[in-house]
A and B are shown apart, each in its own frame.
Chain A
Amino acid sequence: MAISAVSATTLREAPPPRRQRLLEDERWLAFVLLVPTIALLGMFIAYPFIRGILLSVTNSRVGMPGDFVGLANFYKIFNDGIFRTSVYNTFLYTGVTTVFKLALGLWLAMLLNRNFRGKAFTRAFILLPFIIPTVLSTFAWKWMFDPTFSVLNWLLYHFGLITGRINWLGDPDLAMISIIVVNIWRGVPFFAISLLAGLQTISPELNEAAAIDGAKPWQRFWHITWPLLLPVTMVVVLFSVIQTFADFQIVYVMTGGGPANATHLFATYAYQIGIGTGLLSEGAAISLAMFPVLFLVVIIQLLYIRRVEVR
């Protein structure tokens, strides 16, 4: 307040001080307003990214700077069986969960788009899996999957679906299925709420008109709702693909990459090598190996957003 009072008086009596004049200039003001953002993003995103690339072509370990080794780290990881498994797992994990999250999320969004009692209440509650810290909710799932005390086994047994115990996280295939289920559980609310917002921008009259013309519900969905919902869907799917591809928390808590390294993703394997065993440069190489895929998805996303905006 004091500063503005001073500037108001100086404005009337004398030419404004240099600082004030500069802030009146749009370019200077923009520069001043953007400096904190650019500084933080530069220091903690751009710089680490370059450092990561430099790190990945050395043989650094914790507390040891290391020498330039060219592409040796990349050569090594591409010949590493566990790394290959992680690549396969990451694609499987991203692909399967995205299909389910989209299908279930869309279904839930259609249900929530109707009028029913307790609508606001339901909407608030279904967002919980997305809101609650992932690590903490994943522990609830780990407890539900516990081999000895599993409530899921209890349920399946009492519904007559199984006869003996299932060791969910001890078997490589079941462990993979388990982490996929948890990821779907966490992601469905995000898809549902985002798609619901998209659905609400579609005018109900379009559907009514089509209904009068004799279009069946399925036809109305396919020819009216889906094309209008596509832009929102694309943005949500691409965003989710990036997040899922780089996921860490669910696998770290549920299996830690086990049993016998069967459920590692890029991020958990990079953590195990880079932080767990201290091979910094190799860990950096593993997480950088995610980059080409992420880059491709970001480019698609940018092109798509630009096309939607032009239209």
Chain B
Amino acid sequence: MFFYVPMALFLLFLLFPFYWMVITSVRPDGELYRPWNSINYNPFWTWKPTWDHVRYLFEETLFASWLWNTTFIALASTAISLVCGVFAGYALSRLNFPFAGSLGTGIFITYLVPQTLLFIPLAEIIRNYRLGDTPWSLILTYPTFLIPFCTWLMMGYFKAVPKELEECARIDGASRWQAMLYIVIPVAIPGILSAGIFAFTLSWNEFIYALVFLSSPEQKTVPVGVTSELIRGDVFYWGPLMAGALLGSIPVAIAYSFFVEHYVAGLTGSVKG
């Protein structure tokens, strides 16, 4: 009783909006736009599911391009962040050099700098670099909030690799660089995977930079495209809007469901900091 009732309420609260998203995206317009207080109205089920909203999305809007843009940007910025994060994590956790501690703290602080603090000067800088309205404006700026997380997570993984393993390789004639590449990094692959998934979902999720830096409809990402192209003045195209929200959510849900355990490990690893 004290377990199942609260648990059911939590699940209802947390999952109902997704149910509503799903049901709205297959419900015909005639059923959708009936006021909540009309008679014999059953909002929770439809007997006449339709693909019209999805079709509208792909035929009447640039949704396919937005999906492609978002995927490309998320993959590219994740790749950059992983390379930077693995290198920086290795240097900070396994090498001795002056200012290592303060550099680590510095990188940690940038993790805590929200995008909304910097978007106005950044918009100017992006324009000066002539990156405005190109995917590169996002591919180069997203790593600023992904690298600190990746670095922090990788530091934890690298610290767990015993020093002797690397020393053995060094005695066998491997250079420092080779020892890192062939001995230490392979051990940390689970960490790299969870950092990658997390970085991918974060860049898929990003909104304000994409909203400010991109202007032409065909360059937009899913969140920005859906926001700006499926609302005309006061008119919301709720069917396509919910279908777009659903389809835009599926890639992240899949990426994460494959690696749910890594994901939770990564999340909690970052929390233990």
Contacts and interface: CB of A to CB of B under 8 A. Distances in A.
A274 B120 contact: yes
Interface in A120-156: 122-129, 131-137, 139-141, 143-144, 146, 148-151, 153-154
Interface stretch (B11-19, B47-55, B57-65, B161-169): B11-19
Given A131-B253, A298-B109, A44 B144 contact: yes
Interface stretch (A79-87, A203-211, A240-248): A240-248
B214 interface: no
Contacts of B187: none
A26 B110 contact: no
Nearest to A29: B176
Contacts of A134: 205, 207
B91 A133 contact: no
Contact of B173 (A8, A150, A157, A280): A8
A143 B143 contact: no
B91 A33 contact: yes
Contacts of B114: 242-243, 245-246, 267, 290, 294
Interface stretch (A172-180, A188-196, A219-227): A188-196
B202 to A, nearest CB: 10
Contacts of B268: 193-194, 197-198
Nearest to A152: B36
Max count, chain B CB within 10 A of own CB: residue among A136, A284, A294: A136
B41 interface: yes
Given A143-B242, A274-B120, A133 B271 contact: no
Contact of A135 (B15, B143, B147, B223): B223
B227 interface: yes
Interface in B15-33: 15, 17-18, 20-21, 24, 32-33
A55 B87 contact: no
Interface string A251-294: 01100000000000011001100110000100110011011001
Given A124-B260, A253-B227, A30 B91 contact: yes
Contact of B207 (A47, A127, A135): A135
Interface residues of B, number: 98
Given A157-B37, A193-B268, A270-B120, A136 B273 contact: no
Given A111-B10, A149-B36, A232-B272, A30 B95 contact: yes
Contact of B175 (A7, A52, A235): A7
B83 interface: yes
Contacts of B151: 37
Contacts of B223: 133, 135-136
Interface in B62-81: 80
Contacts of A305: 273
Nearest to A141: B17
A146 B100 CA distance: 53
Interface in B197-249: 201, 204-205, 207-208, 212, 222-224, 226-227, 236, 238, 241-242, 244-245, 248-249
A157 B87 CA distance: 58
Contacts of A302: 105, 108-109
Contacts of B176: 23-24, 26, 29
A133 B221 CA distance: 12
A114 interface: yes
A11 interface: yes
A24 B173 CA distance: 12
Contacts of B245: 136-137, 139-140
A132 B21 CA distance: 12
B267 A194 contact: yes
A236 B273 CA distance: 10
Contacts of A44: 122, 125, 140-141, 143-144
A214 interface: no
Given A52-B120, A284-B120, A107 B6 contact: yes
A89 interface: no
B175 A24 contact: yes
B271 A129 contact: no
20 contacts: A36-B87, A44-B125, A45-B118, A45-B144, A48-B122, A51-B124, A55-B121, A108-B10, A126-B10, A131-B201, A133-B205, A135-B207, A141-B17, A148-B36, A157-B37, A249-B207, A287-B119, A291-B117, A298-B109, A302-B109
| 5 tightest A-B CB contacts, nearest first | A246-B114, A197-B268, A267-B116, A136-B245, A52-B121
Given A27-B98, A132-B249, A136-B223, 19 more contacts: A30-B91, A40-B84, A41-B148, A44-B122, A128-B253, A133-B204, A135-B207, A137-B249, A149-B35, A154-B43, A157-B37, A185-B13, A194-B271, A242-B114, A246-B116, A253-B227, A267-B114, A275-B123, A287-B118
